[in-house]
Amino acid sequence: MTGHSNLLLIYTGGTIGMVEDPETGALHPIDFDHLQNEIPELKKFDCHITVESLKKPIDSSNMNLLVWIELLEIIETYYDRYDGIVIMHGSDTMAYTASAMSFLLENVNKPIIFTGSQLPIGKIRTDGKENLITAIEIATAKENGKPIVPEVAIYFEYSLYRGNRTTKISAENFEAFQSPNYPLLAEAGVHIKYNRFAIRKVDDKQLIARKDIVDNVASIKVFPGLRKDVFQAITNLSNLKGLILETFGSGNAPSDSWFAEEIQKLDKRGVVVLNITQCTGGSVMQGKYETGVHLEHAGVLSGGDMTFEAAITKIMYLLSCTELSFEEKKEYVGKNMRGEIS
Protein backbone atom coordinates (compact mmCIF):
# COMPACT_ATOMS: atom_id res chain seq x y z
CA MET A 1 0.00 0.00 0.00
CA THR A 2 1.25 3.48 -0.87
CA GLY A 3 -1.83 5.51 0.10
CA HIS A 4 -1.68 8.46 2.49
CA SER A 5 2.09 8.39 2.78
CA ASN A 6 4.67 11.12 2.70
CA LEU A 7 7.79 10.39 0.68
CA LEU A 8 11.06 12.29 0.47
CA LEU A 9 12.78 12.00 -2.91
CA ILE A 10 16.43 13.06 -2.87
CA TYR A 11 18.23 13.71 -6.14
CA THR A 12 22.02 13.42 -6.09
CA GLY A 13 22.67 13.18 -9.83
CA GLY A 14 23.75 10.14 -11.80
CA THR A 15 22.65 8.65 -15.11
CA ILE A 16 18.98 8.58 -14.10
CA GLY A 17 18.99 12.39 -14.14
CA MET A 18 21.33 13.04 -17.04
CA VAL A 19 20.87 14.29 -20.58
CA GLU A 20 23.09 14.03 -23.60
CA ASP A 21 24.97 17.04 -24.95
CA PRO A 22 23.88 17.22 -28.62
CA GLU A 23 27.31 18.48 -29.73
CA THR A 24 29.71 16.25 -27.76
CA GLY A 25 27.48 13.31 -26.86
CA ALA A 26 28.71 13.56 -23.26
CA LEU A 27 26.27 13.08 -20.38
CA HIS A 28 25.79 15.80 -17.81
CA PRO A 29 23.41 16.18 -14.85
CA ILE A 30 20.32 18.34 -15.13
CA ASP A 31 17.80 19.66 -12.64
CA PHE A 32 14.96 17.54 -11.29
CA ASP A 33 12.27 19.25 -13.38
CA HIS A 34 13.41 17.10 -16.29
CA LEU A 35 12.65 13.91 -14.34
CA GLN A 36 9.17 15.10 -13.46
CA ASN A 37 8.48 15.73 -17.12
CA GLU A 38 9.81 12.33 -18.14
CA ILE A 39 7.91 10.35 -15.50
CA PRO A 40 4.35 11.70 -15.32
CA GLU A 41 3.42 8.45 -13.51
CA LEU A 42 4.80 10.01 -10.33
CA LYS A 43 1.60 12.06 -10.11
CA LYS A 44 -0.46 8.85 -9.92
CA PHE A 45 0.94 7.80 -6.55
CA ASP A 46 -1.51 8.26 -3.71
CA CYS A 47 1.18 9.85 -1.59
CA HIS A 48 2.72 13.26 -1.18
CA ILE A 49 6.19 13.44 -2.72
CA THR A 50 8.63 16.13 -1.65
CA VAL A 51 11.79 16.62 -3.69
CA GLU A 52 15.15 17.68 -2.30
CA SER A 53 18.40 17.87 -4.22
CA LEU A 54 22.08 18.23 -3.55
CA LYS A 55 23.23 21.81 -3.95
CA LYS A 56 25.18 20.64 -6.96
CA PRO A 57 24.07 17.26 -8.41
CA ILE A 58 27.06 15.14 -9.41
CA ASP A 59 28.16 12.19 -11.47
CA SER A 60 28.53 9.46 -8.86
CA SER A 61 32.19 8.96 -9.78
CA ASN A 62 32.73 12.32 -8.04
CA MET A 63 31.18 11.02 -4.80
CA ASN A 64 33.20 11.98 -1.71
CA LEU A 65 32.86 12.44 2.03
CA LEU A 66 31.62 16.03 1.74
CA VAL A 67 28.72 14.85 -0.43
CA TRP A 68 27.96 12.06 2.05
CA ILE A 69 27.82 14.65 4.83
CA GLU A 70 25.44 16.81 2.76
CA LEU A 71 23.25 13.76 2.16
CA LEU A 72 23.31 12.88 5.88
CA GLU A 73 22.22 16.42 6.74
CA ILE A 74 19.28 16.27 4.33
CA ILE A 75 18.16 12.91 5.72
CA GLU A 76 18.60 14.04 9.33
CA THR A 77 16.61 17.26 8.72
CA TYR A 78 13.60 15.60 7.09
CA TYR A 79 13.68 12.05 8.48
CA ASP A 80 10.88 12.37 11.05
CA ARG A 81 8.48 14.02 8.58
CA TYR A 82 8.36 11.19 6.04
CA ASP A 83 7.33 7.55 5.89
CA GLY A 84 10.12 6.65 3.50
CA ILE A 85 13.02 8.07 1.51
CA VAL A 86 14.14 7.34 -2.05
CA ILE A 87 17.59 8.49 -3.13
CA MET A 88 18.40 8.79 -6.84
CA HIS A 89 22.08 8.06 -7.22
CA GLY A 90 24.53 7.15 -9.95
CA SER A 91 25.12 3.40 -10.12
CA ASP A 92 28.94 3.48 -10.12
CA THR A 93 29.29 4.33 -6.43
CA MET A 94 25.77 3.54 -5.24
CA ALA A 95 26.87 0.48 -3.23
CA TYR A 96 29.49 2.61 -1.45
CA THR A 97 26.98 5.31 -0.50
CA ALA A 98 24.30 2.81 0.53
CA SER A 99 26.84 0.97 2.69
CA ALA A 100 28.07 4.22 4.21
CA MET A 101 24.53 5.39 5.02
CA SER A 102 23.71 2.04 6.64
CA PHE A 103 26.50 2.62 9.16
CA LEU A 104 26.52 6.41 9.54
CA LEU A 105 22.75 6.49 10.12
CA GLU A 106 22.16 4.73 13.42
CA ASN A 107 18.70 3.41 14.38
CA VAL A 108 17.13 3.50 10.91
CA ASN A 109 13.52 2.32 11.24
CA LYS A 110 12.02 3.26 7.88
CA PRO A 111 12.89 2.60 4.21
CA ILE A 112 15.83 4.46 2.70
CA ILE A 113 15.92 3.13 -0.86
CA PHE A 114 18.65 3.95 -3.37
CA THR A 115 17.96 3.63 -7.08
CA GLY A 116 19.28 4.82 -10.42
CA SER A 117 19.63 3.61 -13.98
CA GLN A 118 22.02 2.40 -16.63
CA LEU A 119 20.44 4.59 -19.33
CA PRO A 120 19.51 8.28 -18.97
CA ILE A 121 15.88 8.92 -18.17
CA GLY A 122 15.38 10.66 -21.52
CA LYS A 123 16.28 7.55 -23.54
CA ILE A 124 13.39 5.52 -24.94
CA ARG A 125 14.71 2.24 -23.49
CA THR A 126 15.66 3.69 -20.11
CA ASP A 127 15.48 1.44 -17.07
CA GLY A 128 15.14 4.52 -14.88
CA LYS A 129 11.35 4.76 -14.96
CA GLU A 130 10.65 1.29 -13.58
CA ASN A 131 13.46 1.56 -11.06
CA LEU A 132 12.20 4.85 -9.65
CA ILE A 133 8.50 3.95 -9.65
CA THR A 134 9.04 0.63 -7.88
CA ALA A 135 11.52 2.14 -5.42
CA ILE A 136 8.83 4.65 -4.41
CA GLU A 137 6.25 1.87 -4.04
CA ILE A 138 8.61 -0.11 -1.78
CA ALA A 139 9.57 2.96 0.25
CA THR A 140 5.91 3.68 1.03
CA ALA A 141 4.77 0.07 1.52
CA LYS A 142 3.35 -0.67 4.96
CA GLU A 143 1.83 -3.59 6.79
CA ASN A 144 -0.24 -3.03 9.91
CA GLY A 145 0.86 0.58 9.84
CA LYS A 146 4.58 -0.23 9.87
CA PRO A 147 7.06 -0.06 6.96
CA ILE A 148 7.78 -3.42 5.35
CA VAL A 149 11.43 -2.64 4.60
CA PRO A 150 12.81 -0.50 7.47
CA GLU A 151 16.43 -0.41 6.31
CA VAL A 152 18.88 1.05 3.79
CA ALA A 153 18.47 -0.83 0.50
CA ILE A 154 19.14 -0.65 -3.23
CA TYR A 155 16.42 -1.26 -5.82
CA PHE A 156 17.59 -2.05 -9.33
CA GLU A 157 16.08 -4.08 -12.19
CA TYR A 158 13.29 -5.90 -10.34
CA SER A 159 15.45 -6.69 -7.29
CA LEU A 160 15.73 -5.13 -3.84
CA TYR A 161 19.08 -5.67 -2.14
CA ARG A 162 20.34 -4.85 1.34
CA GLY A 163 22.51 -1.78 0.76
CA ASN A 164 25.61 -3.01 2.57
CA ARG A 165 25.45 -6.44 0.91
CA THR A 166 25.50 -5.09 -2.61
CA THR A 167 28.17 -4.60 -5.23
CA LYS A 168 28.06 -3.39 -8.83
CA ILE A 169 29.00 -6.19 -11.22
CA SER A 170 28.15 -4.86 -14.70
CA ALA A 171 28.66 -1.58 -16.55
CA GLU A 172 26.37 -2.63 -19.43
CA ASN A 173 23.58 -4.93 -18.21
CA PHE A 174 20.41 -3.59 -16.65
CA GLU A 175 21.00 -6.16 -13.90
CA ALA A 176 23.95 -4.12 -12.69
CA PHE A 177 24.08 -5.25 -9.06
CA GLN A 178 24.51 -8.44 -7.12
CA SER A 179 24.25 -9.50 -3.49
CA PRO A 180 26.54 -12.55 -3.53
CA ASN A 181 26.31 -13.54 0.13
CA TYR A 182 22.80 -12.49 1.12
CA PRO A 183 19.32 -13.14 -0.32
CA LEU A 184 17.20 -10.47 -1.99
CA LEU A 185 14.95 -8.43 0.27
CA ALA A 186 12.26 -8.35 -2.42
CA GLU A 187 11.58 -9.28 -6.03
CA ALA A 188 9.31 -7.24 -8.29
CA GLY A 189 7.10 -8.96 -10.84
CA VAL A 190 3.36 -8.59 -11.30
CA HIS A 191 3.41 -8.25 -7.52
CA ILE A 192 6.26 -7.29 -5.21
CA LYS A 193 7.30 -10.39 -3.26
CA TYR A 194 8.94 -9.47 0.03
CA ASN A 195 11.35 -11.97 1.54
CA ARG A 196 10.45 -11.12 5.11
CA PHE A 197 12.94 -13.56 6.61
CA ALA A 198 15.76 -11.49 5.07
CA ILE A 199 14.52 -8.06 6.19
CA ARG A 200 15.96 -6.65 9.42
CA LYS A 201 13.87 -6.29 12.54
CA VAL A 202 14.29 -2.86 14.11
CA ASP A 203 13.45 -0.92 17.25
CA ASP A 204 11.86 2.52 17.31
CA LYS A 205 14.78 4.64 18.45
CA GLN A 206 15.86 8.17 17.62
CA LEU A 207 17.92 8.49 14.45
CA ILE A 208 21.56 9.44 14.94
CA ALA A 209 23.61 10.73 11.99
CA ARG A 210 27.39 10.41 12.30
CA LYS A 211 28.98 13.17 10.26
CA ASP A 212 32.56 13.17 11.58
CA ILE A 213 33.69 10.60 9.03
CA VAL A 214 37.31 9.43 9.23
CA ASP A 215 38.88 8.93 5.79
CA ASN A 216 42.43 7.97 6.83
CA VAL A 217 41.93 4.54 5.30
CA ALA A 218 43.42 2.58 2.42
CA SER A 219 43.23 -0.79 0.71
CA ILE A 220 45.77 -3.17 -0.78
CA LYS A 221 44.82 -5.91 -3.21
CA VAL A 222 47.26 -8.77 -2.73
CA PHE A 223 48.68 -10.26 -5.93
CA PRO A 224 51.48 -12.70 -6.79
CA GLY A 225 54.71 -10.72 -6.74
CA LEU A 226 53.56 -7.96 -4.39
CA ARG A 227 56.75 -6.19 -3.32
CA LYS A 228 57.62 -5.01 0.16
CA ASP A 229 58.38 -1.45 -0.95
CA VAL A 230 55.03 -1.21 -2.75
CA PHE A 231 53.26 -2.48 0.37
CA GLN A 232 55.17 -0.02 2.55
CA ALA A 233 54.31 2.90 0.28
CA ILE A 234 50.80 2.65 1.73
CA THR A 235 51.37 1.20 5.18
CA ASN A 236 54.03 3.78 6.07
CA LEU A 237 51.56 6.67 5.71
CA SER A 238 51.86 8.50 9.02
CA ASN A 239 48.14 9.20 9.44
CA LEU A 240 46.82 5.78 8.37
CA LYS A 241 44.05 4.54 10.69
CA GLY A 242 42.48 1.65 8.79
CA LEU A 243 43.59 -0.80 6.09
CA ILE A 244 41.64 -3.31 4.01
CA LEU A 245 43.59 -6.32 2.77
CA GLU A 246 41.97 -7.98 -0.24
CA THR A 247 43.36 -11.50 -0.09
CA PHE A 248 43.08 -14.76 -2.02
CA GLY A 249 40.32 -17.33 -1.57
CA SER A 250 39.25 -17.80 2.05
CA GLY A 251 41.59 -15.07 3.31
CA ASN A 252 45.06 -16.24 2.31
CA ALA A 253 48.15 -14.13 1.66
CA PRO A 254 51.88 -14.72 1.10
CA SER A 255 53.58 -16.21 4.16
CA ASP A 256 56.78 -14.19 3.61
CA SER A 257 58.15 -13.05 6.96
CA TRP A 258 58.24 -9.38 5.92
CA PHE A 259 54.49 -9.42 5.23
CA ALA A 260 53.58 -10.47 8.78
CA GLU A 261 56.17 -8.13 10.26
CA GLU A 262 54.72 -5.12 8.43
CA ILE A 263 51.23 -5.97 9.63
CA GLN A 264 52.41 -6.34 13.23
CA LYS A 265 53.86 -2.84 12.99
CA LEU A 266 50.43 -1.55 11.91
CA ASP A 267 48.71 -3.23 14.85
CA LYS A 268 51.19 -1.65 17.27
CA ARG A 269 50.55 1.76 15.66
CA GLY A 270 46.81 1.39 16.29
CA VAL A 271 45.83 0.76 12.67
CA VAL A 272 42.76 -1.45 12.17
CA VAL A 273 43.62 -4.10 9.53
CA LEU A 274 40.72 -6.03 8.02
CA ASN A 275 40.94 -9.07 5.74
CA ILE A 276 38.32 -9.59 3.01
CA THR A 277 38.38 -12.00 0.10
CA GLN A 278 38.89 -10.99 -3.53
CA CYS A 279 36.28 -13.60 -4.48
CA THR A 280 32.81 -12.35 -5.36
CA GLY A 281 31.17 -14.95 -3.13
CA GLY A 282 32.27 -16.74 0.01
CA SER A 283 33.89 -15.76 3.27
CA VAL A 284 37.26 -15.21 4.92
CA MET A 285 38.28 -18.08 7.23
CA GLN A 286 41.75 -17.11 8.42
CA GLY A 287 42.41 -20.33 10.31
CA LYS A 288 41.68 -22.67 7.41
CA TYR A 289 45.13 -22.64 5.77
CA GLU A 290 48.62 -21.85 6.99
CA THR A 291 48.71 -18.87 4.61
CA GLY A 292 45.82 -17.36 6.56
CA VAL A 293 46.78 -18.31 10.11
CA HIS A 294 49.84 -16.04 10.09
CA LEU A 295 47.62 -13.05 9.34
CA GLU A 296 45.53 -13.74 12.42
CA HIS A 297 48.66 -14.06 14.56
CA ALA A 298 49.83 -10.69 13.19
CA GLY A 299 46.62 -8.97 14.34
CA VAL A 300 44.59 -8.98 11.13
CA LEU A 301 40.82 -9.11 11.65
CA SER A 302 38.52 -11.31 9.59
CA GLY A 303 35.96 -9.49 7.46
CA GLY A 304 33.89 -12.64 6.97
CA ASP A 305 31.71 -12.28 3.90
CA MET A 306 31.56 -8.49 3.80
CA THR A 307 31.71 -6.73 0.44
CA PHE A 308 34.58 -4.34 -0.12
CA GLU A 309 32.11 -1.43 -0.08
CA ALA A 310 30.76 -2.47 3.32
CA ALA A 311 34.23 -3.15 4.75
CA ILE A 312 35.74 0.21 3.84
CA THR A 313 32.73 2.26 4.96
CA LYS A 314 32.37 0.26 8.18
CA ILE A 315 35.95 1.07 9.11
CA MET A 316 35.35 4.75 8.30
CA TYR A 317 32.31 4.64 10.60
CA LEU A 318 34.01 2.83 13.48
CA LEU A 319 37.02 5.15 13.34
CA SER A 320 34.59 8.06 13.75
CA CYS A 321 33.26 6.54 17.00
CA THR A 322 35.66 8.35 19.30
CA GLU A 323 33.94 6.91 22.37
CA LEU A 324 35.36 3.48 21.46
CA SER A 325 38.89 2.36 22.33
CA PHE A 326 41.16 0.80 19.70
CA GLU A 327 40.42 -2.68 21.08
CA GLU A 328 36.67 -2.01 21.02
CA LYS A 329 36.84 -0.83 17.42
CA LYS A 330 38.67 -4.04 16.50
CA GLU A 331 35.99 -6.04 18.29
CA TYR A 332 33.15 -4.35 16.42
CA VAL A 333 34.81 -4.77 13.01
CA GLY A 334 34.08 -8.49 13.04
CA LYS A 335 30.60 -8.16 14.57
CA ASN A 336 27.37 -7.92 12.63
CA MET A 337 26.17 -4.34 13.18
CA ARG A 338 23.79 -3.57 10.30
CA GLY A 339 23.31 -6.95 8.67
CA GLU A 340 26.53 -6.53 6.70
CA ILE A 341 28.17 -9.80 7.77
CA SER A 342 26.84 -13.32 8.25
Inter-residue contact 137 to 175 (CB < 8 Å): no
- Comparing CA positions, the residue from 29, 13, 109, 16 lying closest to residue 63 is 13
Pairing of strands 301-302, 272-277: parallel
CA distance 230 to 218: 13
Residue 57's CB is within 10 A of a number of other CB atoms, namely: 20
Q: What is the DSSP string of 255-305?
A: --HHHHHHHHHHHHTT-EEEEEESSSSS---TTSSHHHHHHHHTTPEE-TT
Q: Where are the beta strands (DSSP E) in 190-265?
A: 192-194, 208-209, 217-221, 242-247
Crossing angle of helices 94-104 and 65-78, rounded to 10°: 50
- Comparing CA positions, the residue from 158, 167, 168, 12 lying closest to residue 85 is 12
Q: Where are the alpha helices (DSSP H) in the chain?
A: 33-38, 65-78, 94-104, 128-139, 228-235, 257-268, 290-297, 308-320, 326-333
**15 flagged as catalytic:** yes
**Catalytic: which of 15, 97, 247, 313?**
15
Distance between terminal CA atoms of the chain? 31
**Residue 50 β-bridge partners:** 8
How remote is the C-alpha of 95 from its chain's centroid?
A: 4
Active site residues: 15
